[in-house]
Homo-oligomer: A and B are copies of this chain.
Amino acid sequence: MIGILPGVYKAYNSDVTVHVQKSVTEVSPGDFHALVIPGGRSPANLREDKAVVEFVKKFFETGKPTAAICHGPQVLVTAGVIGKRTLTGFPEIEGELTAAGGTFKDVEVLVDGNLVTSRIPGDLPAFSRAVEKLLLR
Protein backbone atom coordinates (compact mmCIF):
# COMPACT_ATOMS: atom_id res chain seq x y z
CA MET A 1 0.00 0.00 0.00
CA ILE A 2 1.20 3.51 -0.77
CA GLY A 3 0.23 6.73 1.00
CA ILE A 4 1.48 10.12 2.06
CA LEU A 5 3.90 8.76 4.67
CA PRO A 6 4.98 5.16 5.31
CA GLY A 7 3.80 3.71 8.62
CA VAL A 8 1.11 1.67 10.34
CA TYR A 9 -2.28 3.33 10.44
CA LYS A 10 -5.31 2.37 12.52
CA ALA A 11 -8.79 2.75 11.05
CA TYR A 12 -10.75 5.53 12.79
CA ASN A 13 -13.78 3.31 13.33
CA SER A 14 -12.28 -0.14 14.03
CA ASP A 15 -9.10 -1.90 15.16
CA VAL A 16 -8.08 -2.67 11.60
CA THR A 17 -4.56 -1.50 10.83
CA VAL A 18 -3.01 -0.93 7.42
CA HIS A 19 0.65 -0.81 6.52
CA VAL A 20 1.74 1.94 4.17
CA GLN A 21 5.01 0.59 2.79
CA LYS A 22 6.02 3.51 0.61
CA SER A 23 5.32 7.17 0.15
CA VAL A 24 3.70 8.13 -3.11
CA THR A 25 6.82 10.21 -3.78
CA GLU A 26 8.95 7.02 -3.95
CA VAL A 27 6.93 5.24 -6.63
CA SER A 28 5.81 5.73 -10.21
CA PRO A 29 2.73 4.57 -12.15
CA GLY A 30 4.87 1.97 -13.93
CA ASP A 31 5.33 0.10 -10.62
CA PHE A 32 1.68 -0.99 -10.45
CA HIS A 33 -0.94 -2.79 -12.52
CA ALA A 34 -3.90 -1.07 -10.88
CA LEU A 35 -4.74 1.72 -8.45
CA VAL A 36 -7.43 1.30 -5.78
CA ILE A 37 -8.44 4.33 -3.71
CA PRO A 38 -10.37 3.30 -0.58
CA GLY A 39 -12.89 5.50 1.21
CA GLY A 40 -13.44 6.68 4.76
CA ARG A 41 -11.99 9.95 5.91
CA SER A 42 -8.64 9.64 4.17
CA PRO A 43 -9.69 10.97 0.74
CA ALA A 44 -10.34 14.40 2.31
CA ASN A 45 -6.65 14.45 3.27
CA LEU A 46 -5.25 12.61 0.26
CA ARG A 47 -6.87 15.11 -2.11
CA GLU A 48 -4.98 17.95 -0.41
CA ASP A 49 -1.57 16.33 -0.95
CA LYS A 50 0.04 17.53 -4.17
CA ALA A 51 2.16 14.40 -4.68
CA VAL A 52 -0.87 12.13 -4.28
CA VAL A 53 -2.96 14.17 -6.71
CA GLU A 54 -0.15 14.24 -9.27
CA PHE A 55 0.40 10.46 -8.94
CA VAL A 56 -3.30 9.70 -9.35
CA LYS A 57 -3.54 11.93 -12.41
CA LYS A 58 -0.50 10.29 -14.03
CA PHE A 59 -1.66 6.79 -13.14
CA PHE A 60 -5.14 7.38 -14.51
CA GLU A 61 -3.72 8.66 -17.77
CA THR A 62 -1.84 5.38 -18.34
CA GLY A 63 -5.26 3.77 -18.91
CA LYS A 64 -4.58 1.09 -16.31
CA PRO A 65 -7.45 0.09 -13.99
CA THR A 66 -8.20 2.84 -11.49
CA ALA A 67 -10.77 2.09 -8.83
CA ALA A 68 -12.33 4.19 -6.06
CA ILE A 69 -15.01 3.43 -3.49
CA CYS A 70 -17.06 5.52 -1.01
CA HIS A 71 -15.25 8.89 -0.67
CA GLY A 72 -12.35 7.66 -2.84
CA PRO A 73 -13.68 9.34 -6.02
CA GLN A 74 -13.08 12.72 -4.31
CA VAL A 75 -9.37 12.26 -5.07
CA LEU A 76 -10.23 11.70 -8.75
CA VAL A 77 -12.19 14.97 -8.77
CA THR A 78 -9.22 16.93 -7.47
CA ALA A 79 -6.93 15.13 -9.95
CA GLY A 80 -9.19 16.45 -12.71
CA VAL A 81 -9.77 13.06 -14.33
CA ILE A 82 -13.56 12.64 -13.98
CA GLY A 83 -14.29 14.23 -17.36
CA LYS A 84 -17.55 12.90 -18.80
CA ARG A 85 -17.31 9.52 -17.08
CA THR A 86 -20.28 7.70 -15.66
CA LEU A 87 -19.51 6.78 -12.09
CA THR A 88 -20.78 6.23 -8.59
CA GLY A 89 -19.55 6.88 -5.05
CA PHE A 90 -20.72 7.57 -1.51
CA PRO A 91 -24.22 9.07 -2.02
CA GLU A 92 -23.30 12.35 -0.28
CA ILE A 93 -20.54 13.10 -2.80
CA GLU A 94 -22.92 12.93 -5.79
CA GLY A 95 -23.04 16.74 -6.04
CA GLU A 96 -19.32 17.22 -6.45
CA LEU A 97 -18.98 14.32 -8.89
CA THR A 98 -21.72 15.86 -11.02
CA ALA A 99 -20.17 19.33 -10.73
CA ALA A 100 -16.90 17.85 -12.03
CA GLY A 101 -18.67 16.72 -15.20
CA GLY A 102 -19.47 13.12 -14.29
CA THR A 103 -22.77 11.32 -14.60
CA PHE A 104 -23.71 9.79 -11.24
CA LYS A 105 -25.62 6.52 -10.96
CA ASP A 106 -26.79 4.90 -7.74
CA VAL A 107 -25.62 1.32 -8.43
CA GLU A 108 -23.23 -1.02 -6.62
CA VAL A 109 -20.49 -0.82 -9.20
CA LEU A 110 -19.83 1.05 -12.43
CA VAL A 111 -17.09 0.35 -14.95
CA ASP A 112 -16.42 3.11 -17.49
CA GLY A 113 -13.27 2.40 -19.47
CA ASN A 114 -10.44 1.97 -16.96
CA LEU A 115 -12.49 3.51 -14.14
CA VAL A 116 -14.22 1.34 -11.52
CA THR A 117 -16.33 2.97 -8.80
CA SER A 118 -18.58 1.80 -5.96
CA ARG A 119 -20.67 3.48 -3.26
CA ILE A 120 -20.34 1.82 0.12
CA PRO A 121 -18.61 -1.01 2.03
CA GLY A 122 -21.50 -3.34 1.11
CA ASP A 123 -20.52 -2.97 -2.55
CA LEU A 124 -17.02 -4.39 -1.93
CA PRO A 125 -17.67 -7.84 -3.43
CA ALA A 126 -18.95 -6.40 -6.72
CA PHE A 127 -16.23 -3.73 -6.65
CA SER A 128 -13.45 -6.29 -6.17
CA ARG A 129 -14.84 -8.55 -8.93
CA ALA A 130 -14.93 -5.63 -11.36
CA VAL A 131 -11.32 -4.65 -10.61
CA GLU A 132 -10.23 -8.28 -10.99
CA LYS A 133 -12.03 -8.53 -14.33
CA LEU A 134 -10.19 -5.48 -15.68
CA LEU A 135 -6.86 -6.89 -14.47
CA LEU A 136 -7.50 -10.18 -16.30
CA ARG A 137 -8.49 -8.43 -19.50
Task: Tell me if A99 is interfacial: C-beta within 8 Å of chain B.
Answer: yes
Tally chain A residues at the interface, Cβ within 8 Å. Answer: 18
Closest to A92 in B: B48
Task: Tell me if A36 is interfacial: C-beta within 8 Å of chain B.
Answer: no
CA gap between A99 and B79 in the complex, in Å:
8
A80 touches B99 (CB 8 A): yes
Q: How far is the CB of A130 from chain B (nearest CB, A)?
A: 24
Chain B residues lying within 8 Å of A101, measured Cβ to Cβ, are: 99
Task: Tell me if A82 is interfacial: C-beta within 8 Å of chain B.
Answer: yes
> A78-B95, A99-B99, A99-B100 provided; 15 other pairs, C-beta below 8 A?
A47-B92, A47-B95, A47-B96, A48-B93, A53-B95, A77-B95, A77-B96, A78-B96, A79-B95, A80-B95, A80-B99, A82-B99, A96-B96, A99-B101, A100-B100
Query: What are 15 A-B pairs with beta-carbon distances under 8 A?
Result: A47-B95, A47-B96, A48-B92, A53-B95, A77-B96, A77-B99, A78-B95, A80-B95, A80-B98, A80-B99, A82-B99, A96-B100, A99-B100, A99-B101, A100-B100
Partner-B contacts on A (CB < 8 A) = 44, 47-48, 53, 74, 77-80, 82, 92-93, 95-96, 98-101
